[in-house]
Amino acid sequence: MAIESSKPKKQRKYLYSKPLHKRQKDLSGHLSKKLRQALGKRSLQLRKGDTVRVMKGAKRNSEGKIMSVDYKKSTVCIEKLTRKKTDGTEIPLPVKACNLLVTDVDRSDSRRFKKQPKGEKAAGKHEAKTETGKEPIEKEKALKSVKELKAAKDAALKK
């Protein structure tokens, strides 16, 4: 469901009351140029284990792995980004997903990369296939052999 209202109050209300499974799509980051070419995508949903670089804010250009993703607050915690409290304990700094650039991806999940990159799909489109899954050339060969068999049977019956 898209935001239909033009009123900022209602737009904020929609964002804050959005279900968690829909918030997951909002937590995505742009891919680096190398990853864009390798995966054939512009952005990817952020997950624990991905390596990211902060592009905006006071911690700009700091890099690290994602420790946790908070869908409720729409933030991400990164390993090396922490601050000390007055009692000496360190807490992770939350960062918004729109301020991050994904530099390396955790490839342990096979379902995450189930789809083929766009370049491979485009190559597959040029190969025309029929309903049976055979290429047209093979189908033509099969038809020729069937016609030859029928012609041979007709010749044998005439004799």
For the chain, what is the mean pLDDT?
Answer: 83
Residue 122 vs residue 135, higher pLDDT? 135
The dihedral formed by the CA atoms of 107, 73, 57 and 51, expressed in degrees to the nearest 10: -10
pLDDT at res. 34: 94
- For 18-74, write each residue's pLDDT tens digit: 888 888 888 999 999 999 999 888 999 999 999 999 999 999 999 999 999 999 888
Name all domains of the chain by residue range, CATH numbers in brackets: 7-108 (2.30.30.30)
pLDDT band at 100 (very low <50, low <70, confident <90, very high): very high
User: For residue 114, which phi and psi values (nearest 5 degrees)?
Assistant: -70, -40
Instruction: Answer whether residue 1 shows pLDDT above 90.
Output: no
What is the percent of the chain with per-residue pLDDT over 70, rounded to a whole number?
Answer: 80
In 37-155, the DSSP E strands lie at 43-45, 51-54, 63-70, 75-84, 90-96, 100-104
pLDDT band at 123 (very low <50, low <70, confident <90, very high): very low
pLDDT band at 137 (very low <50, low <70, confident <90, very high): low
pLDDT at res. 116: 57
Contact 117, 40 (CB under 8 A): yes
Q: Has this prediction a pTM greater than 0.75? A: no
Instruction: Answer whether residue 119 shows pLDDT above 70.
Output: no
Contact 98, 52 (CB under 8 A): no
Instruction: Answer whether residue 125 shows pLDDT above 50.
Output: no
Spell out the SS3 assignment of 59-84: CCCCEEEEEEEECCCCEEEEEEEEEE
Contact 45, 109 (CB under 8 A): no
pLDDT at res. 128: 47
